[in-house]
Structure 1
Amino acid sequence: MQAILYARVSTADQTLAHQRTQAEKAGFIIDQVIADEGVSGVSVPFADRPQASRLFDILRAGDVLVCRWVDRLGRDYDDVKNTINALMNKGIVVKTVINGFTFDGATKDPIQKAVRDSLIAFMAATAQAQAEATKAAQRAGIDHAKASADADTRYPGRKPSYSRSQLDHVVAALAGPSPSVSTIARDSGLTRQTVLRIRDDLAGAEAALARWGL
């Protein structure tokens, strides 16, 4: 049995090292890392990503696929749900670093299967909703930056205390069930106050990154 970490890196701030460190801090022992770099998780389906498609050839029944969260496994609700189901049908166990969820096809009990499938559907829908909210916030941040371009050039404000990858981590974690601000702060390496500011003003957080070109 092997544990493979799948990472998708779409920006300069999302490093493979960060995602592996985060997984290992959560207790995972990673045997191999498979990563798609420079690939959008919003526009490119999981099966169309060069390295993601390799996973179906590499992974065997009983292996564990680790990912930061379910949003790594698809571009929208249907893609995420279908990807997880395809992996489970091969006997592969899917585990997430954020929230520590485990999905496998071992159970034959219809009630347990219904609960599992409902949770997968909920998380897939949450992933799509979070992606759409992030895109909306990014547009709002860019519009805000453009509208005040002169002022931002003269005084762009204090440089954000978070990176793009940290912001993405916070947004994904906040979208999960029963998010703990303290846990999110610890896992992302940010202060509770920073996490709370991001939670309460995502558009402003995106605007701050845009003003600094991050």
Structure 2
Amino acid sequence: MIFGYMRISTQKEKQTTDRQKITLEQYATDNGFTFDELIEERISGTVSAERRPQFNELKSRLRRDDILIITDIDRLGRNADDVIMEFKRLKTDSIRVIALDTPYLNEWEKIQDSSIYNMIADIFITLKAHMAQQEREKTVQRINQGLDVARAKGKTLGRPKAELSSNFIKEYDKFKKGEYGNMSASGFAKMLGIGRSTLYKYVNIYEGLEK
């Protein structure tokens, strides 16, 4: 069976799945097939794949050699690591994923050959993981550069240990471990509801305490 999955953010009330639906249906027309079902889910992109009700209900119905088509590979998860994990799970269950925004993963004829698909899927997983790691390293580097600049300007970045909230410590540990994928320093600060300069201050305090 062939399924299409469309996701839009609950934070954008005026947004609809029209663009995704038109794109998916045009792909079906161009390649001479019909979808068995198109599934729509309205949920924030910050929610991990395993916590998306419609997506999980769909996965429970997928069977070996079924095909799942999405307009953008990032619809599969919250971040790069979540996407990789979900993609691997589907591949293990012999579900073929077609992502229309991803070279080679969007070629209908090649996807029909299991050996070619598996080769493409393995290459995609390797590249996606490498890109995610590079982005994490760049983010850490940018944070450290920001701290160096602050120190060079003679700014005092320290605060008593007690003033670092347990929530910040927990979230920063997750950020360092890459659980937020390729999230930037600015994005991380925004998620915490603080400014980037404040983030640098907190990181400097925390890193200092760890030594």
Q: Which runs of 5+ in 1 are unaligned?
A: 144-214
Q: For the residues of structure 2 that align with 1:72 and 1:106, how far apart are their CA atoms?
A: 23
The residue that corresponds to 1:54 in the other structure is 57
Q: For the residues of structure 2 that align with 1:102 and 1:31, how far apart are their CA atoms?
A: 20
- What pairs up with 1:56-71 in 2 under 5 angstroms? 56-71=59-74
The residue that corresponds to 1:41 in the other structure is 45
The residue that corresponds to 1:4 in the other structure is 3
CA contact (8 A) 1:81 1:124 kept: no
Q: Does 2:99 match 1:91?
A: no
Secondary structure of 2:101's aligned partner: coil
Q: Does 2:127 match 1:119?
A: yes
CA contact (8 A) 1:63 1:93 kept: yes
User: Per-residue deviation at 1:132?
Assistant: 4.6
User: Per-residue deviation at 1:112?
Assistant: 6.5
The one-character-per-residue Cα deviations of 1:106-128 (angstroms, maximum 9, x if unpaired) are 449x9777534313435767895
Shift of the 18–116 alpha-carbon distance from structure 1 to 2, 3 Å rule, reads: closer
The residue that corresponds to 2:19 in the other structure is 18
User: Per-residue deviation at 1:13?
Assistant: 4.0
User: Per-residue deviation at 1:57?
Assistant: 1.0
Q: Percent identity at matched positions?
A: 27
TM-score, L = length of structure 2: 0.51
Letter in 1 for 2:126: S
Q: Alignment partner for residue 81 of structure 1, among 69, 75, 84?
A: 84
Q: For the residues of structure 1 that align with 2:36 and 2:59, how far apart are their CA atoms?
A: 16
User: Per-residue deviation at 1:73?
Assistant: 0.6
Shift of the 22–14 alpha-carbon distance from structure 1 to 2, 3 Å rule, reads: farther
CA contact (8 A) 1:71 1:124 kept: no
Shift of the 51–124 alpha-carbon distance from structure 1 to 2, 3 Å rule, reads: farther
Q: Which runs of 5+ in 2 are unaligned?
A: 136-179, 196-211
CA contact (8 A) 2:104 2:120 kept: no
CA contact (8 A) 2:3 2:39 kept: yes
Shift of the 112–4 alpha-carbon distance from structure 1 to 2, 3 Å rule, reads: closer
Shift of the 12–112 alpha-carbon distance from structure 1 to 2, 3 Å rule, reads: closer
Q: For the residues of structure 2 that align with 1:20 and 1:133, how far apart are their CA atoms?
A: 33
Task: Supply the RMSD in Å over aligned alpha carbons.
Answer: 3.7
Secondary structure of 1:81's aligned partner: helix
Secondary structure of 2:7's aligned partner: strand
The one-character-per-residue Cα deviations of 1:58-90 (angstroms, maximum 9, x if unpaired) are 111111111111111111222111100000111
Q: For the residues of structure 2 that align with 1:56 and 1:5, how far apart are their CA atoms?
A: 12
